[in-house]
């Protein structure tokens, strides 16, 4: 075990989260041991358990931190077109999914029925839906309710499709992203008085992997 460095409680928690995130990204959830987290961090198991009483608690904290970071990095700017905003948001999330495949699969498969993990996911999806609603053209209350429902269903569709893609890459990453964006545009067009993405599909970025 490396020599233990004296850190403030906040800094120690951040260090343990960083070690946990690295290990959960590198290996399946069941293969990550708390003893290994403690060893990698250079702390005793007692100290690790003081911050995180179980592997589940550590994973939940790691996943919450990732969700917060993804929301912070997902930019919705009314000055950009809907397609530009969707491309940026999809790329941010796909970057994380690819780099943290094991963690994403753990949250969506191994811990699929866990209420804590599901709450983290639901809160992030709700925040993304609210941001998308805020940058779409103004509409009456009934239309906004219909659009909100379509966006909620679309976000779940994207989540399921991306998890399946991580398990079996049946298409390129760009094709996956374009399928998701096309589904959003197709869902919103019948509901809005103006085409939310007149450049689609002619404006697709398309292309490589």
pLDDT for residue 1 is more than 80: no
pLDDT for residue 25 is more than 60: yes
Q: What is the pLDDT of residues 79-104, one digit of tens each?
A: 888 999 999 999 999 999 999 999 99
Report how far apart, in Å, the C-alpha atoms of 202 and of each of 97, 144, 208 are. 27, 27, 17
Contacts of 51-56 with CB under 8 Å at 24 or more apart are 51/9, 51/12, 51/13, 51/16, 52/16, 52/20, 55/29, 56/111, 56/114, 56/116
Which of 76-80, 129-133, 191-195 has the weakest average pLDDT? 76-80
More confident call, 193 vs 6: 193
Sign of CA dihedral 126, 158, 138, 205: positive
- Of 32, 14, 13, 18, the residue nearest 106 (C-alpha): 32
Centre a 10 Å sphere on the Cβ of residue 186 and count the other Cβ atoms it contains. Answer: 13
pLDDT for residue 203 is more than 80: no
Q: What is the pLDDT of residue 4?
A: 56
Q: What is the pLDDT of residue 59?
A: 98
pLDDT for residue 62 is more than 80: yes
Q: What is the pLDDT of residues 31-55, one digit of tens each?
A: 999 999 999 999 999 999 999 999 9
pLDDT for residue 144 is more than 90: yes
For the chain, give the mean pLDDT: 92
Q: What is the pLDDT of residue 201?
A: 79
pLDDT for residue 135 is more than 90: no
pLDDT for residue 163 is more than 70: yes
Q: What is the pLDDT of residue 6?
A: 77
| Beta-carbon-side half-sphere exposure of residue 99 (alpha carbons within 13 Å) | 10
Chain center to CA of 94: 8
Q: What is the pLDDT of residue 127?
A: 96
pLDDT for residue 130 is more than 50: yes
């Amino acid at each position: 075990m490396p020599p233990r460095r004296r850190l403030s409680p906040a800094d120690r928690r951040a260090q343990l989260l960083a070690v946990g995130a690295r290990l959960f990204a590198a290996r399946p959830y069941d293969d990550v041991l708390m003893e290994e987290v403690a060893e990698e961090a250079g702390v005793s198991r007692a100290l690790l358990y003081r911050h995180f009483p179980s592997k589940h608690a550590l994973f939940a904290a790691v996943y919450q931190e990732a969700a917060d970071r993804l929301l912070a990095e997902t930019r919705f700017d009314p000055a950009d077109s809907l397609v530009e905003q969707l491309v940026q948001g999809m790329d941010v999330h796909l970057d994380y999914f690819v780099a943290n495949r094991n963690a994403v699969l753990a949250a969506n498969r191994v811990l699929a029925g866990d209420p804590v993990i599901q709450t983290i996911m639901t809160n992030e999806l709700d925040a993304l839906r609210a941001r998308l609603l805020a940058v779409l053209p103004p509409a009456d209350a009934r239309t906004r309710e219909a659009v909100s429902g379509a966006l909620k269903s679309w976000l779940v569709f994207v989540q399921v499709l991306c998890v399946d893609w991580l398990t079996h890459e049946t298409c390129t990453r760009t094709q996956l992203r374009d399928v998701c964006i096309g589904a959003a545009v197709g869902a919103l067009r019948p509901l809005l008085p103006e085409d939310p993405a007149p450049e689609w599909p002619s404006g697709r970025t398309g292309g490589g992997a």
